[in-house]
Structure formats: structure tokens, C-alpha cells
A and B are shown apart, each in its own frame.
Chain A
Amino acid sequence: MKHVYLALAGLLLAGCGPSFQAATPPGFVVLDEDYDNYGYRATSADGLVLAVREIEHDPKGDLKFWVRAIENEMRGRGGYALLETKPIKNAQGLSGQQLWFGHDEGQNPHLYMVTAFVTDDWIYLLEAGGTKEQVDKQRQQISWAIDNFQGKH
């Protein structure tokens, strides 16, 4: 009986927590998540921020649909230039699409990255952003965080 209670408690806890496990690269600090919109956020000392959103996959759409929706939203909003889009597959075997946008803040260029993984139940959006200089410096950390991200298939 005790084992049953423990199993139920474990299931409840699992149900309350996020459906993913983010990987925090060295040199980043995880922020307390009091934010509604992010399931995870971490920042470097220089202000490069990594984040994960988990969105319930309802209504259903394929990866192509969601990527196109993101692309249209960012470009249509103005101020974001689509620089690159490429397919990506991480260590867990999640397949997705990565989009890089450029954004000028005055004379200061910034980069914003969104990687979308779409599973049956969830849409995971992994984001990274900061000044172009910072992003260029820490591309390896960003790639590592994406590669080691674990979502629920």
C-alpha cells in the first residue's frame, strides 16, 4: 500500500512539473520561474538569455505549420529580419527547425534564435537572444543547450 501511495505521489508531482528537462550550459544561471510564459530561463552574466516554452499541442499542426506561423509572426511584426532557417535534430532524437532573426536596437545589432520541436502533445520553443556580439561568442553554449534538451515525445 505504501508503494502505491508513493507511486501516486510521484505521478502527481510528475504531472505538475514541466514536461521537459532543460540543460543549462556552463556560465549560465537558472532564473526562478515566476513567469507564465516560460517554463525555463537562464542567463549569462553578460545578458545572453536562454529560455524554453512548452505549449500544449492543441490544435494539432505539423512542424512546418508552426515554423511558418513563427516566421510570419516575426517578419510581419517588423524589425526582425529572418537570417537563417535550418532543420535540427538533438541528442534525444527530437527533430525540429531552427530560425535565426536579426534585430537592430538603435546601432546595436541583436540576434534572436527560436528552435521549435513539435511532439504529439507539446510544442517546445527553445529561445536564445542577446547582442550579436554575445550570441556570436556563445554559440557553442547555445548549441549545447539545444542538443541536450529533453522533451516528452
Chain B
Amino acid sequence: MRGSIEGLPAKRRFYAWWLGLVTCTLALLSTSCAAAMEGEASAAAAPQAAGGMADMAPPAATPAPGAPEEPEAELSSGNSLGAPQPPPPPSDSAAGEAATADPSAVLASEEKQAPLLIYRATLTMAVFETKKVMDAIEALAKAIGGYLVARDDLSITVRVPASKFDGALNDIAKQGDELHRQVEVSDVTAEFNDLSIELKNAEVVRERLVVLLDKAQKVEEALAVEAELARLTDKIERIKGKLKLLRELVAFSTVTVRFEARPVERVDSHVQLPFPWLKQLGLVELLSL
């Protein structure tokens, strides 16, 4: 274009510039009119926040609160200046689906959802009749709807319904001489929500892949889709497994009881009083005849 203008005589070159300028002005005017009409529509839906400078601002850039937002693509279509349009969302993108899957509803459900907490307790007890005490702990857990997880010579792990955690912990502590207690609480709400969204997205993509598999014309295409389907199915199963585990850990609190034959060195280790006879107490000396 530039080269063709430079090739013309000066007078014709002036007309060409003039024509270009008029065309641009008309284009600008038509854009402004369209924008103004959209702005009026917005103003009709809600009052303007302020006059003056607000009137001068592009109406589409300041949508009134409560007014339905115009889709970005529609705004771009009215742009006759040829500004680059945003790329359309990928049609088969799972992320795109999630982003358009009513985020406000997701947020609302997150706000309403009670925190998902996992309780874990570890009790250390002095060793005495460990088998009897462990039997009692196991029976206690089962009596309130819990179950045994693991058991060996010097420790036992049970799970009890989370709603009965406090009571169960105190009852278990009464079964022996409690030396130390540690209770941990983990909030897994965010992790649970992330996994749920990931699962939903993966399932949507899998459904689309199934449709694609039906439409595949070539063997190579079918194989590629099948491979992706297998990978996705594996991923879905793993996520489901994690969610199931989290649900179970939230529903059932874990209580581990360890029987301590020898004291473990701790910061709050017992006081050493300067009375030698205290060290001589016990069965070893008493029973040495």
C-alpha cells in the first residue's frame, strides 16, 4: 500500500491520504456509536456510579454492578479497528469446562462445607499386661463402631468414629497407665475439593474421548485415543482412591497406643531427685534374695 502511494503524484497522494483519514474517522465514529448504545443499555440496567469522568469512560469497560456481563467475544466482534481478538477457549479443554462450570456455585459450596478434619492420637502407656490392655482397647473400639487397623507386641492402632473420638480416647487412656498423649488434627478440606474438581474434569474429558473413539476412522487414531483413555481411567481411579481414603480418615479417627518398655528421651524427661534410695526401689532389688 505504502509503495503504491509513493508511486503517485503529490496531488493524488494527498487525496489518497485524505480518503484514508475519512475512512478511519467513519470507522471510529461507528465504533463509538455502538459502544455508546451498549453503555446506554448498561445504564438502563443500573444507575451510573458517577457522572463527569465516568461518562467519558468506555461504558463497556465499566459494567454496572448487577448488570449481566457481555461476553468478551461479542465485544470484540464489534471492534472494527482490528484489535487482536482473544483466542477462543479450547473446545475440548477440561480446564475450560471447569472454568465455565459455574465457579460461583463451587465457591458457595466451599463456603457452606464444614471443614474436613482428620484426627490422629498417639498414647504412650507404661508396659503392663499389654495383651490384656490391647484386647480391651480393641473391644472398646469395636463396641463403638470402630475397627482394628494394626497390632503387634508393643502397639495397637484402632480407628473409631470421629464423632466419638474424644470419649474413645479417654476410655482407651483408662485401660492402662498413660505416660504421654499426642493429638494431631489435619484440615484436608482444600485437598478434598481440589481432588473433587480434578476428578470431575477428568471424567468430562474421558466422556469426550469415548465419543472421539467412536468417530475414529483410522486405526492409529483409535489407538491414540485408547491410550489416552487408559491413562485417564487410571488417573480417575487413583483420584477416587485418594478421595475414598480421605473420606475414611475424616469419618474415622486413628488412635495408636504404644507401650513403652524403656523411656524415650524427651525434653520434659522426668526429674532426677538427689535421693539415692529412690533409685533402689523396684522389684529387682526387692526380689534379690
Q: Which residues of A contact B (CB under 8 A)?
A: 31, 37, 41, 43, 47, 49, 51, 53, 55, 69-70, 72-83, 101-104, 109-110, 112, 114, 125, 127, 129-130, 132
User: In the complex, which of the residues B179, B270, B287 contacts A49, with contact meaning CB atoms closer than 8 Å?
Assistant: B287
Given contacts A81-B126, A82-B126, A103-B128, contact A74 B282 (CB under 8 A): yes
**Is B15 an interface residue when CB atoms closer than 8 A count as contact?**
no
| Contact size range, B | 20 to 34
Min distance, Cβ A120 to any Cβ of chain B, angstroms: 18
- Would you call B277 and A75 a contact (CB within 8 A)? no
Min distance, Cβ A104 to any Cβ of chain B, angstroms: 5
Min distance, Cβ A3 to any Cβ of chain B, angstroms: 39
- Would you call A37 and B280 a contact (CB within 8 A)? yes
The main secondary structure of chain B at its interface with chain A is loop
Interface flags for B117-141 (1: CB within 8 Å of A; 0: not) read: 0000000011111100000000000
Q: Bound complex: CA of A53 vs CA of B278, how far in Å?
A: 11
User: With contacts A70-B281, A79-B261 known, what are 18 further pairs, Cβ within 8 A?
Assistant: A37-B277, A37-B280, A51-B286, A53-B280, A55-B277, A72-B273, A73-B273, A73-B279, A77-B282, A78-B261, A80-B282, A81-B128, A82-B126, A103-B127, A103-B283, A104-B129, A104-B130, A112-B282
- Would you call A102 and B128 a contact (CB within 8 A)? yes
- Would you call B281 and A76 a contact (CB within 8 A)? no
The main secondary structure of chain A at its interface with chain B is strand
Given contacts A76-B269, A76-B270, contact A104 B281 (CB under 8 A): no
Contacting residues of chain B (210-262) with chain A, CB-CB under 8 angstroms: 260-262
- Would you call A73 and B270 a contact (CB within 8 A)? yes
- Would you call A78 and B126 a contact (CB within 8 A)? yes
User: In the complex, which of the residues B129, B270, B279 contacts A109, with contact meaning CB atoms closer than 8 Å?
Assistant: B129
- Chain A residues with Cβ below 8 Å from B260 are 78
- A–B pairs, 22, beta carbons within 8 Å: A37-B277, A43-B289, A47-B287, A73-B278, A73-B281, A75-B126, A76-B270, A77-B263, A78-B126, A78-B260, A78-B261, A78-B263, A79-B261, A80-B128, A81-B125, A81-B127, A81-B176, A81-B177, A102-B126, A109-B128, A110-B283, A112-B283
Q: Kindly report which residue of chain B lies nearest to residue A73, judged by CB atoms.
A: B278
**Is B285 an interface residue when CB atoms closer than 8 A count as contact?**
yes
- Would you call B286 and A83 a contact (CB within 8 A)? no
